[in-house]
A and B are shown apart, each in its own frame.
Chain A
Amino acid sequence: MCRSHHGRPWVTLYVLRDHVSKPRDIIHDDSRLKPTRKDPLTTLTRIQRVVYLQAVDLFTYCNAEQMMRIAGIARQRDFAAGEKVYSVNDAAESMCCVVEGTVKLRGVAGSERRIESREIFGVSEILSDRLRSEDAWVDSDTVALVIDAEDFFDLLSNNVEIVKALFRQLLRSPETFENLHETATPQLATG
Chain B
Amino acid sequence: MKSRSARKPRGKTHEAHDSWLSYLEIDLRAGEADISWLLFAVHFLLLMFQYTAKALRQSIFIDSLGADKLPIVYLLVALCSYPLLIAHSRMVDRWAQGRLIAASSLAVGASLLAFWWLFKTQSDWVSIAFYVWISVTGILLVSQFWSYACHLLDARQAKRLFGFVGAGGILGSIAGGQLARWASGALDTYTTLLLAAAVLAALAFLMHWKAPRANIPPPCADDAQALTDARAGFSVVRSSPYLRLIAAIMLLSGMVAQVVDLQFGWAIEQNTSNLVERTAAFGNLYSVMGIGALIFQLAATARIHRRRGVGFALRVLPVTNGIGSVGFLMAAMFFPGLLLWMAWLLKIGENGLRYSLEQATRELLFLPVPENQRPKAKAFIDVFIQRAAKGVAAIALLPVVLGWISVQHTAWFSLVWIVIWIGLVGSTHRHYVRSFRDSLLRRLAPANEVDVFDRATLEVLIEGLGSADPRETLHSLELLSVHDRGHLVPPLMLHHEDPEIRAKTLEILQAAERRDAMPLVERLLMDPDAEVRAAATRALAALTRKDLRQQMLERLGDPDVRIRSTAVTYLASRADPEVRLRADSCFAELLADGDPEVRLEAARALGEIADPQYQAGMVRLLYDSDPRVVRAAVEAVSARVDRGARNPLYVPILISRLHDRRLKHEARKALVAYGRNVIPALQHFMNDEQEEIWVRRALPKTIARIGGAAALTALTESLTAPDPFLRRKVVEALSSLRANNHQLSPQRAPIETQLIIECQGHLRALIDLTQLKKLPSNGGNGQSQQQPAATSSEPHLLARLLADRMDDHTHNIFRLLGLVHPQRDIRAAYQSLLSDRPERRAHALEYLDNLLQGEVRMAVFVVIDDLPFRERLRLAKKIFDLSPASSADTLRRLATHRSAGDADAAWMTAAALHYIHDHRLTHLYPVIRRAAKVDLEPLVQETTNLLLPHIDQ
Task: Answer yes or no: B21 CB below 8 A from chain A CBs.
Answer: no
CB nearest neighbor in B for A33:
B946
Task: Answer yes or no: A183 CB below 8 A from chain B CBs.
Answer: no
Binary B-proximity of A57-75 (CB < 8 A = 1, otherwise 0): 0000001110010000000
Which residues from chain B contact A158 at a C-beta distance below 8 Å?
661, 664
Q: Is the CB of A21 within 8 A of B793?
A: yes
| B contacts with A, residue count (CB < 8 A) | 45
Which residues from chain A contact B792 at a C-beta distance below 8 Å?
26-29, 32
A58 CA to B481 CA, complexed, in Å: 50
Which residues from chain A contact B801 at a C-beta distance below 8 Å?
64-65
Binary A-proximity of B103-116 (CB < 8 A = 1, otherwise 0): 00000000000000
Residues A157 and B661 in contact in the complex (CB < 8 Å), given A4-B803, A55-B794 = yes
Task: Answer yes or no: B150 CB below 8 A from chain A CBs.
Answer: no
Q: Which of A27-84 contact B (CB under 8 A)?
A: 27-29, 31-33, 40-41, 45-48, 50-51, 54-55, 63-65, 68
Q: Is the CB of A15 within 8 A of B769?
A: yes
A65 CA to B914 CA, complexed, in Å: 16
A47 CA to B766 CA, complexed, in Å: 23
Task: Answer yes or no: B907 CB below 8 A from chain A CBs.
Answer: yes
Q: Is the CB of B806 within 8 A of A10?
A: yes
Q: Is the CB of A47 within 8 A of B917?
A: no
Which residues from chain B contact A91 at a C-beta distance below 8 Å?
none
Q: Which of A146-165 contact B (CB under 8 A)?
A: 154-155, 157-158
Residues A154 and B794 in contact in the complex (CB < 8 Å), given A9-B834, A47-B911 = no
Q: Is the CB of B942 within 8 A of A63?
A: no
Binds A, one of B168-176, B448-456, B552-560, B783-791: B783-791
Residues A19 and B804 in contact in the complex (CB < 8 Å), given A31-B790, A32-B918 = no
Best-surrounded residue of B662, B800, B834, B942 (most CB of chain A within 10 A): B800
Which residues from chain B contact A50 at a C-beta distance below 8 Å?
797
A48 CA to B904 CA, complexed, in Å: 16
A52 to chain B, nearest CB (A): 11
CB nearest neighbor in A for B811:
A10
Residues A47 and B834 in contact in the complex (CB < 8 Å), given A63-B800, A64-B800, A64-B801 = no
Q: Is the CB of B661 within 8 A of A154?
A: yes
Which of B790, B911, B949 touches A40 (beta carbons < 8 Å)?
B949
Which residues from chain B contact A26 at a C-beta distance below 8 Å?
792, 794
CB nearest neighbor in B for A68:
B907
Main SS of the interface on chain B?
helix
Residues A54 and B834 in contact in the complex (CB < 8 Å), given A14-B869, A31-B787 = no
Task: Answer yes or no: A16 CB below 8 A from chain B CBs.
Answer: yes
Task: Answer yes or no: B939 CB below 8 A from chain A CBs.
Answer: yes
Which residues from chain B contact A32 at a C-beta distance below 8 Å?
790, 792, 918
Q: Is the CB of A11 within 8 A of B661?
A: no
| A contacts with B, residue count (CB < 8 A) | 40
CB nearest neighbor in A for B807:
A8
Q: Is the CB of A68 within 8 A of B904?
A: yes
A16 CA to B914 CA, complexed, in Å: 19
A14 CA to B876 CA, complexed, in Å: 15
Which residues from chain B contact A14 at a C-beta distance below 8 Å?
869, 872
A25 CA to B794 CA, complexed, in Å: 7
Task: Other than A20-B795, A51-B914, A63-B800, give 15 A-B pairs with Cβ distance below 8 A.
Answer: A15-B806, A16-B795, A16-B799, A23-B794, A28-B790, A29-B788, A32-B790, A32-B792, A45-B942, A46-B942, A47-B914, A55-B794, A63-B807, A154-B662, A158-B664
Q: List 16 A-B contacts (CB under 8 A).
A: A4-B795, A10-B807, A10-B810, A10-B834, A11-B807, A16-B769, A16-B803, A32-B792, A33-B946, A46-B939, A47-B939, A51-B914, A63-B804, A65-B801, A68-B907, A155-B661
Q: Which residues of B contact A (CB under 8 A)?
A: 661-662, 664, 725, 766, 769-770, 773, 787-795, 797, 799-801, 803-804, 806-807, 810, 833-834, 869, 872, 904, 907, 910-911, 914, 917-918, 939, 942-943, 945-947, 949-950
